[in-house]
Amino acid sequence: MGDEQLYVIGINGGATHTGLALLNERLDVLARAEVGSSNFRNVGFGAAISTLEQGVIEITKKAHLPLPAIAGIGIGVAGVDHVNERRQVQEAMQIVFPGKKILVDNDAVPALVGGAGQRFGIVVISGTGSIVIGIDAQGQRARTGGWGYHLDQGSGFAIARETLAAITRAQDTLGPATALTERILARLKLKDLRELVDWLYIPGRRIDEIAALAAETVALAETEQDLTAVGIIAQAADALAGQVIAALRQLDFGDTPFPLVMSGSLFRYSGLLRDLFTSAVMAFAPNAVTVQAVHDAAVGAAVMVLAELGVHLPPPELPAPALPVRRPSEQRNRLTMNISQRPALDLATIMNLEDRRIPQAIALELPRIAALIEAIAERFARGGRLFMVGAGTSGRLAVLDAAECAPTFNATPDEVAGILAGGPAAMVNSVEGAEDDEAAGRAAIAERNVGPLDSVIGVAASGSTPFVQGALREANERGALTGSISGAPRAPISALAQYPITVVTGPEVITGSTRLKAGTAQKMILNMISTGIMVQVGRTFNNLMTDMQASNAKLRERAVTIVADATGLSRDEARALLQQCDGEIKTAITCALTGSPPDEARQRLAAVGGNLNRIMS
């Protein structure tokens, strides 16, 4: 090794071990070493610095290279996120190794550089802990996760924690029996689950020992026979994908292809985790390019310090994104490929597993859903109307949600209406070509004389239904408020709506049947929107249905219950008061709470637009 070469050390400091690589400027790896944890949160600042020092001394000895020959040390270490924390580590290492170029960053950044060959893209680390870091072309950085083993999702520790919870639930008959029980007992050499508590809470039990249990879940899930294990891995995949999507919303990749690097032991050993995670992210960001890691994180840290020393390596060319030829909902679901050969319980379990993933997808859109609720409620309170438009399953759900507003909130068909491509006949029969007729969508809005006070929500799993597009275009031209609910990224109806909501639920249990997960997501969102609007305009008294139509004996008894709950009256007193008020729930409550007679109570309600909450505020 000649003195003319430039030598650097890259360090990847993790929660369980610290890996080091010694390189020259040509990226030849001359030596590697491994020492203990250098996570400051776990072992403390002084111990972490000592571990880093130990690693540097050890690797230079392995390379038979004197320490003065090292020009720089790049350090990526878990638990170092804030600039002040990085500076503190840098200054401490500068004292230990004076004269060296010291570069310090969170361990996810060198993992990105090592994996993608550049400081650009998204890296997801899933090991003992988990973290997501993204950097766009402008250098803007976004970080999600990385809160430590107690809080991280999609990590080895999180999977182990869910595994232990699953086997104890099975023991208590609160969950299905699972082969994980025998695997964990065998791994820990325990006779029964009662001994698990002693093992888990023994003083000095290390986090990495608990996280290692995730290996049993990973191995069992790969067979796809134990659905409890599969569910735990699916939960981890969704958590990691959600973190990536949250980071993407803070960055600006536009339509530019960007590398998506999966790093850490969980991704390395779990093909199921990789597949489910990739499917979820690609459904949201089809311009993501999953890449095989160019180098590991230790080499990535060395590359970063080489750049600080003036050695700039050309970034690798990214392949074109593998854009799906089918929408997410029309791709095949890995978990149901052989569903015809499995028992009915497996089918029900997998469907339940897939349905549990829907609220997580919706959660990402809650701010947009809330904004749409508030915007519509403001217009509705001034006499505006709400129209929900769709075709097929989406249209039927729109009609259903509108119809349910009548008995629940006393909303008339003129106030809230569903518009279904093909008309009423399409509720029970397929009307050929109806959803492809954009002009009919326009006509449906024009026929209702939609105006600036009105709101129109287009609903389509594909996000591209011509009938819905036509309705939104016509609504926009008439000055109405427009929203959309779609299940595909960059959907045409999203571009037409002032308040777009996109919930990508991924491959269906039965390929292409959007009456399943996509339809369930749509109904849940429509429930939120219609209920939220009615609450905001005072069609309820807090959480009591004060505007419902008491049209049968059951509902008349429910009206008595509502008045009793709202006022503290006995049921007999509430029933008598309702009779005095001609069965009007709000009038009865106003009488009881203000001491007004029925006629005066009606006047008071009329003065606030029927909003009982405003009388009592």
The pLDDT tens digits for 29-42 are: 999 999 988 877 77
Which residues are CB-neighbours of 192 under 8 A, at least 6 positions away?
185
Sheet of strand 258-263, all strands in order from the earlier edge strand to the far edge = 141-145, 130-135, 121-126, 258-263, 288-290
Helix or strand holding residue 142 (H, E): strand 141-145
91: domain CATH number?
Answer: 3.30.420.40
Helix axes of 271-284 and 214-223: crossing angle, nearest 10 degrees: 80
Residues 129, 90 share a domain: no
**Tokens matching residue 499:** 């308040």
The pLDDT tens digits of the residues spanning 164-205 come to: 999 999 999 998 999 999 999 999 999 989 899 999 999 988
Answer whether residue 284 shows pLDDT above 90. no
472 and 612: one domain? no
Q: Is 368 a residue whose pLDDT tops 70?
A: yes
Residue 194 and residue 245 in one domain = yes
**Number of neighbouring beta carbons within 10 Å of residue 409:** 22
The C-alpha atoms of residue 81 and residue 93 are separated, in whole angstroms, by 17
Please report whether residue 329 resides in a domain.
Answer: no
Last residue of a domain, one of 116, 144, 161: 116
Domain residues for the domain of 430 are 360-536
Q: 321 falls in which pLDDT band (50, 70, 90)?
A: low
CA 397 to chain centre: 24
Residue 464 lies in a domain: yes
Which one is catalytic: 216, 224, 435, 474? 435
- Tens digit of pLDDT for each residue in 105-129? 888 889 898 888 888 899 999 988 8
Domain termination residue (choose one: 290, 320, 342): 290
Q: Comparing C-alpha atoms, which of 88, 53, 64, 103 is closest to residue 302? A: 103
Strand order of the β-sheet with 455-460 is 416-420, 386-390, 455-460, 481-486, 499-502
Instruction: Classify residue 360 by burial, with Cβ atoms within 10 Å: 0-12, 13-18, 19+.
Output: middle
Q: Is the pLDDT of residue 374 over 90?
A: yes
Given a contact cutoff of 8 angstroms between Cβ atoms, the answer to whether 74 and 10 are in contact is: yes
Q: What is the pLDDT of residues 512-563, one digit of tens each?
A: 888 899 899 999 999 999 999 999 999 999 999 999 888 899 999 999 999 9
Q: What is the mean pLDDT of residues 44-60?
A: 89
383 with 272, same domain: the answer is: no
CATH of the domain at 433: 3.40.50.10490
Closest alpha carbon to 70 in 80, 79, 59, 78:
59
Closest by Cα among 585, 581, 603 to 546: 585
CB 216 within 8 A of CB 166: no
Task: Answer yes or no: 4 catalytic.
Answer: no
| 317 part of a folded domain | no
Nearest residue to 154 via CA among 224, 235, 270: 235
* Average pLDDT estimate for 363-390: 96
- Average of per-residue pLDDT across 269-290: 89
pLDDT at residue 1 in the model: 42
Rounded CA-CA distance 360/242 in Å is 8
Q: Can you tell me the mean pLDDT for 336-343?
A: 85
Backbone torsions φ then ψ of 459, nearest 5 degrees: -125, 125
Residues 191 and 104 in one domain: no
Dump the DSSP string for 553-569.
HHHHHHHHHHHHHHH--
Contact assessment for residue 410 and residue 549, using Cβ atoms and an 8 Å cutoff: yes
- Encode pLDDT of 215-226 as tens digits: 999 999 998 889
Cβ count near 338 (within 10 Å): 9
Ranked by mean pLDDT, the top range of 5-14, 365-374, 406-415 is: 365-374
Average pLDDT over residues 322-337: 72
What does the alpha-carbon distance between residue 566 and residue 540 come to, in Å, rounded to a whole number?
Answer: 11
CB 375 within 8 Å of CB 396: no
Beta strands in 412-531 (DSSP E): 416-420, 455-460, 481-486, 499-502
What pLDDT does residue 223 have? 87
Which is nearest to 79 in space by CA: 45, 111, 120? 45
Distance CA 300, CA 115 (A): 7
Q: How far is CA 339 from CA 223, 233, 326, in A?
A: 14, 19, 21
Q: Which residues pair with 262 in a beta bridge?
A: 124
Q: Among the options 25, 222, 308, 404, which is catalytic?
A: 404
Mean pLDDT within 230-238: 94
Pairing of strands 29-35, 18-24: antiparallel
DSSP state of 309: T
One domain for residues 144 and 276: yes
Domain count, the chain: 4
262 and 147 inside one domain: yes
Shared domain check, 151 and 134: yes
Q: How confident is the model over 491-508, as a mean pLDDT?
A: 92
5/28 Cα distance (integer angstroms): 11
Paired residues of 157 in beta bridges = none
89 within domain boundaries = yes
Look at residue 60 and tell me whether its pLDDT is greater than 50. yes
Q: What pLDDT shows up at residue 323?
A: 57
Are residues 516 and 590 both part of a single domain? no
Task: Read off the CATH number of the domain in which 603 is found.
Answer: 1.10.8.1080
Does a structural domain hold residue 321?
Answer: no
The reply to whether 435 belongs to the active site is yes
pLDDT above 70: residue 102: yes
Q: Name the strand (E) or helix (H) holding 18.
A: strand 18-24
* 548 within a domain of the structure (yes/no): no
User: First-to-last CA distance in the chain?
Assistant: 81
DSSP characters for 219-281? HHHHHT--HHHHHHHHHHHHHHHHHHHHHHTTS--TTS-EEEEEESHHHHH-HHHHHHHHHHH
One domain for residues 86 and 127: no
Residue 44, both tokens: 């403390």
Of 116, 150, 177, the position where a domain reaches its end is 116
Residue 176, SS3 per DSSP: coil
For residue 348, is it within any domain? no
Residues 14, 84 within the same domain: yes
Q: Is 541 part of a structural domain of the chain?
A: no
26 and 167 both lie in a single domain: no
Q: Based on the number of CB atoms within 10 Å of its own CB, is 412 exposed (0-12), middle (13-18) or buried (19 or more)? A: exposed
pLDDT of residue 326: 64
Amino acid at 276: L
494 token code pair: 């999203």
Residue-averaged pLDDT of the chain: 90
* Confidence band for 429, pLDDT divided at 50, 70 and 90: confident
503 near 359, Cβ under 8 Å? no
Q: Would you say residue 364 has pLDDT above 90? A: no
Q: What pLDDT sits at residue 2?
A: 44
- Give the pLDDT of residue 544: 92
